A and B are shown apart, each in its own frame.
Chain A
Amino acid sequence: MSADPTRVLAFETDCHIFDGCGFPSPGLHSFIFEPLWGDGDSNLYFNKTMLLALLGSIIVIGFFWAAFRRPQVVPGKLQMIAEAGYDFIRRGVVYETMGKREGEKYVPFIVALFFFVWMMNLWSIIPVAQFPVTSIVAYPMVLALIVYIVWVSLTFKRHGFVGALKNFTGYDKSLGAALPVVMLIEAFSNLLVRPFTHAVRLFANMFAGHILLVLFTIASWYLLNGIGIAYAAVSFLMVLVMTLFELFIQALQAYVFVLLACTYIQGALAEQH
């Protein structure tokens, strides 16, 4: 059926205001793509977000490959830009949270994580692609899961089994009778809520951002009829403003994501008090 909203882009319809046509508002269907290959009902398919995820990886690797493959002591322009990004994450995020001695080991992980997430977010405003990969919850989830595995395993390694449990539950004798309740809440908060919020924070931001962009883009097209043209202009202006805003949010959310990852790892490294 050609009217299936999962297949139809806003611009592919002749639907305008005053034409007796309802507003084709964006929704969950804006995040579902027909498989480019395979069958959507089975688990064997390949769609746009997967393509963008792999392409994004190639772009990140390509950028750093070009910049750091044969790095010079006196850097060129590209190397200088890449170094600035690398240094920002290394000093500004990893050293700041974990310290230089403990943090050094996690620099590659956090740097890869930041630039990967940022690239996946950036797809949102890159023409033709125009879809943030991280607005599909699977991608933030898999990243949050990796971070979760890293810091939980690190806690066991660092503090032993009992020590790790104390770490997770915020064990503190001075709490007295309230201790069991606190331990329960802490364990729930740390082990279950934390990875979920970590993933959903990124996902929801990108999801909402994409909805906003699509909303104003569709509205600009839909209003392009009669007196509606004036409103279409306003709507189009909003597209530009939201694009700039998204550009900012994308970098910010990538930063928040890795900063939280560092905080979790730092918590695993920290001695108990």
Chain B
Amino acid sequence: MSPLLNIAAEELQNPLVPPIPELVIGLIAFVIVFGVLAKKLLPNINKVLEERREAIEGGIEKAEAAQIEAQSVLEQYKAQLAEARHEAARLRQEAQEQGAALIAEMRAEGQRQREEIIAAGHAQIEADRKAAAAALRQDIGRLATELAGKLVGESLEDHARQSRVIDRFLDELEEKAEAAR
């Protein structure tokens, strides 16, 4: 070691003895840091951390509420859907019943009309038959009379009596026909 170094080393103080000015500066430096952090910056961030915690918890609560609402809406929707299905089934059933009733009614109406037409036809036929029979009876009477007149050579004058005779004859014929039937 050079003598210079030795001189310097003798002047060096014990490193464990703190110089007063450095103690003061150290104290000031730390107090500044502590003051600014404790009074301003850490309360700032604590407030925000609290807000964030609330925001997250609030978000969770909101999500839960939304889920519950969605659940209730879903149930409501399902209930409505079931009701609508039920209603549709009921309507279909009703329509079917109405349709069946309508068909039955139409069928009955058709039946009735058919019977009416048949009845009318029968009546018409009966009337025609009667008219034909009446006309025929007169013609037969006249022809028979004429024939008889020619056969007997004289005209049967008493037309009324003549007609009565013919009628009686024809009635007898009819009775016979009835009896024979």
Report whether over half of chain A's contact residues are helix, strand or loop; otherwise say mixed.
Answer: helix
Name which of A42-50, A171-179, A180-188, A262-270 contacts chain B.
Answer: A42-50
What bracket does the count of chain B residues touching chain A fall in? 35 or more
For the A-B complex, the count of residue pairs with Cβ-Cβ distances under 8 Å equals: 129
Query: Which residues of A are interface residues toward B (Cβ below 8 A)?
Result: 1, 3-6, 22, 27-29, 31-32, 43-46, 49-50, 53-54, 56-57, 60-61, 64-65, 67-73, 79, 82-83, 86, 107-109, 111-113, 115-116, 133, 136-139, 141-143, 146, 200, 203, 207
User: Complex formed: what's the CA distance from A76 to B1 in Å?
Assistant: 56
Q: Are A69 and B41 in contact (CB under 8 A)?
A: yes
Which residues of B35-62 have CB atoms within 8 Å of chain A's CB atoms? 36-38, 41-42, 44-45, 47-49, 51-52, 55
In the complex where A71-B44, A86-B45 touch, is A29 in contact with B9 (Cβ < 8 A)?
A: yes
Query: Which residues of B are interface residues toward A (Cβ below 8 A)?
Result: 1-2, 4-5, 8-9, 12, 15-23, 25-30, 32-34, 36-38, 41-42, 44-45, 47-49, 51-52, 55
Q: Are A71 and B16 in contact (CB under 8 A)?
A: no
In the complex where A3-B4, A43-B21, A142-B23 touch, is A112 in contact with B30 (Cβ < 8 A)?
A: yes
* Minimal beta-carbon separation of A45 from chain B (angstroms): 6
Q: Which residue of B lies closest to A49 (CB)?
A: B22
Q: Report chain A residues within 8 Å CB of B27.
A: 142, 146
Q: Are B30 and A143 in contact (CB under 8 A)?
A: yes
User: Complex formed: what's the CA distance from A73 to B28 in Å?
Assistant: 33
In the complex where A43-B20, A45-B21, A73-B51 touch, is A65 in contact with B36 (Cβ < 8 A)?
A: yes
